[in-house]
Amino acid sequence: MIHARALEKRYGDKRILRGVSLDVGTEDFLLVTGPNGSGKTTLLRLCAGLAAPSRGELSVGVERGRLGYLGHEPLVYRELTAHENLDLYGRLYRIAERRERTGMLLERFGLWDARHARAGSFSRGMLQRLALCRTLLHEPSLLLLDEPYSGLDDEGERLLDRELAERVARATFVVATHEPERLEQFASARLALA
């Protein structure tokens, strides 16, 4: 699914990634660990196609529309409601049964009652839940998750656990985190960045 050789990424004079190689198969769940600033986020951005490697090869065996990316930012419009945000992404991802999918996900992540509230009025944890809905909306076959548990409360963590357990057999995962304990149960491969 993902094949990378001697990947290097530099921003001007700063080298963020240096000589990273990895192979991720279709069934894999890759756990990327490492301290702050070790390039976890950069690696995910490269895999998502949001940035291009400075050197090395990278091929991702899935088209853009089949990729789900959860970054640091929720990537939603603050002035739009939760429902409107998901509806916009549903249109852009050309999801046929947009209404049902949106409703189902909002329900699942406990946002149904807040669906007509502006995303700007959400707490950090609610925004993370909304971002998860956005990421999973189009049933991606490759999921790139950057610190997926950040900001979630106990209930939210449980919801995400359930979601991951359900999907781990159906999709490929690359998950970056600095506290891997919670995700060890799913991991089939590990990459430690320094």
Partner 1 sequence: MTYFADVGALARKDLLLELRARDTLPAMLLFVVSTLVVFHFVLPAESSDLAATGLLWVALLFTALLGLSRSFAAEREQGVIDGLVLAPSDRSAIWLGKALSILAFLGLAEVIALPAYALFFRPVDAGLVGGVVLADVGIAAVGTLLAAMATASRARELLLPLLFLPLAIPIVIGGVGASVSGEPARYLGLLGLYDALFAIICWASFEYVVTE
Partner 2 sequence: MSTWSRNNRLPALATLALTLMAAAIALIFFYAPLDEDGLNQKIFYFHVPIAFTAYACFGWGGWKALRHLWKGDEDADLESYVAIHLGVIFGVLTLVTGSIWARYRWGHWWVWSEDQLVLFLVLFLFYCAYFMLRYSLPPGPQRANLSAVYALFGVALIPVSILAIRLSQRFIHPIAFDEGGPNMAGSQFFTFCVAVLAMFAVAATLYHLELAGKRLDIRLRELREALQ
Q: For binding to partner 2 (CB under 8 A), which residues are involved?
A: 10-13, 15, 51-52, 54
Q: Indicate the DSSP class of residue 65.
A: G
Task: Write each residue from 134 to 153 as x if it is in contact with partner 1 (CB under 8 A), else as -, in one continuous string.
Answer: x-------------------
Side-chain-side CA neighbours of 68 within 13 Å: the count stands at 22
Nearest alpha carbon to residue 1 among 30, 34, 23? 23
- Comparing CB distances to partner 2, the nearer of 42 and 81 is 42
Nearest alpha carbon to residue 173 among 141, 148, 149, 147? 141
- Comparing CB distances to partner 1, the nearer of 63 and 184 is 63
- Comparing CB distances to partner 1, the nearer of 88 and 191 is 88
Q: Is 55 in the site for partner 1 (CB under 8 A)?
A: no
**Least distance from partner 1 to the Cβ atom of residue 51, Å:** 5
Choose the contact partner of 13 out of partner 1, partner 2, none; CB within 5 to 8 A by kind.
partner 2
The DSSP-derived string for 87-145 is: HHHHHHTT-TTHHHHHHHHHHHTT-GGGTTSBGGG--HHHHHHHHHHHHHTT--SEEEE
Reported residue count of the chain is 194
- Comparing CB distances to partner 2, the nearer of 58 and 111 is 58
Q: Is 51 in the site for partner 1 (CB under 8 A)?
A: yes
Choose the contact partner of 15 out of partner 2, partner 1, none; CB within 5 to 8 A by kind.
partner 2
Q: Encoding tokens for residue 161?
A: 């656990």
Q: Is 62 in the site for partner 1 (CB under 8 A)?
A: no
